[in-house]
Amino acid sequence: MGFFNFFSREKKETLDKGLEKTKESVFSKIARVVAGKSKVDDIVLDDLEEILITSDVGVDTTLKIIERIESRAAKDKYVNTKELNTILRDEISSLLLENTASSAGFELEEKARPYVIMVVGVNGVGKTTTIGKIANQYKAAGKSVYLGAADTFRAAAVEQLEIWGQRVGVPVIKQKMGADPASVAFDTLSSAVANNADVVIIDTAGRLHNKVNLMNELSKIKNVMKKVLPDAPHEVLLVLDGSTGQNAFEQAKQFTLATEVNALAITKLDGTAKGGVVIGISDQFQIPVKYIGLGEGIEDLQVFDKKEFVDSLFGSKE
């Protein structure tokens, strides 16, 4: 059972506020499309397709949604434009439920101790901040956490992780600049095991300039960790910046080719109208979006709840 899956009123308000720009952008455009029309016809569907694509839902996912609406219109013979929001809501909700596993949030596997999370993503997406916020969630749940500063190529990355470690009150294992990242991961896991820790979170370098080097580096880190814990890492979490829209799709493509990503965190949704990227990435990569970032505050990282996400965009279904 997850520790943080209870959706409080405060979290709902944060989610609503975080998705406000996306909601305003999408629905103001839809309102203009259906103005003066009584039914959903080909022109409305063409305009809706453009709206979804420009909201960074993605071409392939948009086409799926449009096809579903067309099928429903054909089945029902007539679809009123007033029903469009409800239909769109239903189809997006169905798509998310079909294409993502149930979000476990910050749940720990009972047999995995310590539970090891390797975090990947390019520089600037909020990777280290996300690590700090996840560590804070676990710490608040009474779990002991170790952080590993395996991004040894940037002094700022190590310093930022140390600041988060101090802020949250968890140890950070590091080595000198330019050290072997795999060695840092090994030391972190060894210390965590020796001290009977519950969770280990490993930060990694965010370089994409050479996919082969990236793949080799991440593979080496994983292989070295397995020397300490044969089933580590239990989670490879890819952090993506939601405000970059289609660039986030490309990053997801590159990192899923480079390593076995099994969870996604999408950050910076509060400052963008590109929240549709969550829908597209969930659908296209068949990897669960587990966390979404909705602000700078330490509590503003939320477990991705598909129902609450759709309700926030479209309003609760009566």
How much is the pLDDT for 2? Answer: 47
Burial of 317 by CB count in 10 Å (0-12 exposed, 13-18 middle, 19+ buried)? exposed
Is the pLDDT reported for residue 266 higher than 70?
Answer: yes
Note the pLDDT of residue 258. 85
Q: Are residues 235 and 293 in the same domain?
A: yes
Share the mean pLDDT of the chain.
85
**pTM metric for this prediction:** 0.88
Does 205 lie in the same domain as 77? no
- Band (pLDDT 50/70/90 cuts) for residue 5 is very low
Domain that holds residue 40: 9-99
Each residue's pLDDT tens digit, 126-137: 999 999 999 999
What percent of the chain clears pLDDT 70, i.e. is strictly above it? 89
Average pLDDT over residues 215-228: 92
Rg (CA), the chain: 21
Query: Domain check: are 58 and 179 in the same one?
Result: no
**Of the ranges 6-10, 79-83, 307-311, the best mean pLDDT one:** 307-311
Report yes or no on 86 lying in a domain. Answer: yes
* Same domain for 120 and 221: yes
Dist CA 249 CA 120 (whole Å): 15
Average pLDDT over residues 183-208: 93
Q: What is the CATH number of the domain that holds 164?
A: 3.40.50.300
Asked if residue 202 is part of any domain, the answer here is yes
Per-residue pLDDT at 148 exceeds 80 = yes
Strands, E, within 51-171: which ranges?
Answer: 115-120, 145-149
Question: Has residue 125 got a pLDDT over 80?
Answer: yes
Task: Measure the CA–CA gap between 174 and 158, rounded to whole angstroms.
Answer: 7
Task: Tell me: pLDDT of 315 over 80.
Answer: no
Confidence at residue 208, expressed as pLDDT on a 0 to 100 scale = 64
210 — pLDDT class (breaks 50, 70, 90): low
Going by C-beta distance under 8 Å and a sequence separation of 6 or more, which residues neighbour residue 101?
288
* Boundary (domain end) residue, out of 99, 134, 166: 99
110 pLDDT exceeds 70? no
Angstrom CA distances, 2 to 13, 71, 110, 141, 200, stand at 21, 37, 11, 10, 17
Q: How many domains does the chain have?
A: 2
Is residue 2 domain-resident?
A: no
Looking at the fold, whether 279 and 188 belong to one and the same domain comes out as yes
Residue 84 in any domain: the answer is: yes
Residue 90 located in a structural domain: yes
Residues 180, 269, single domain; the answer is yes
Judge if 129 and 243 occupy the same domain: yes
Structure tokens of 271?
């400052």
One domain, residues 161 and 224: yes
In a domain, 16, yes or no: yes
Share of the chain above pLDDT 90, in %: 39
Residue 110 lies in a domain: no
181 and 86 in a common domain: no
Q: Is residue 220 part of a domain?
A: yes
Distance CA 13, CA 245 (A): 24
250 shares its domain with 122 = yes
What's the pLDDT score for residue 1?
36
Of the residues 69, 99, 129, the one at which a domain ends: 99
Pick the last residue of a domain from 32, 66, 99. 99
Reported confidence tier of residue 75, pLDDT bands at 50, 70, 90: confident
Q: For position 158, what pLDDT does the model report?
A: 92
pLDDT band at 106 (very low <50, low <70, confident <90, very high): low
| Shared domain check, 67 and 121 | no
CATH of the domain at 89: 1.20.120.140
Co-location of 31 and 91 in the same domain: yes
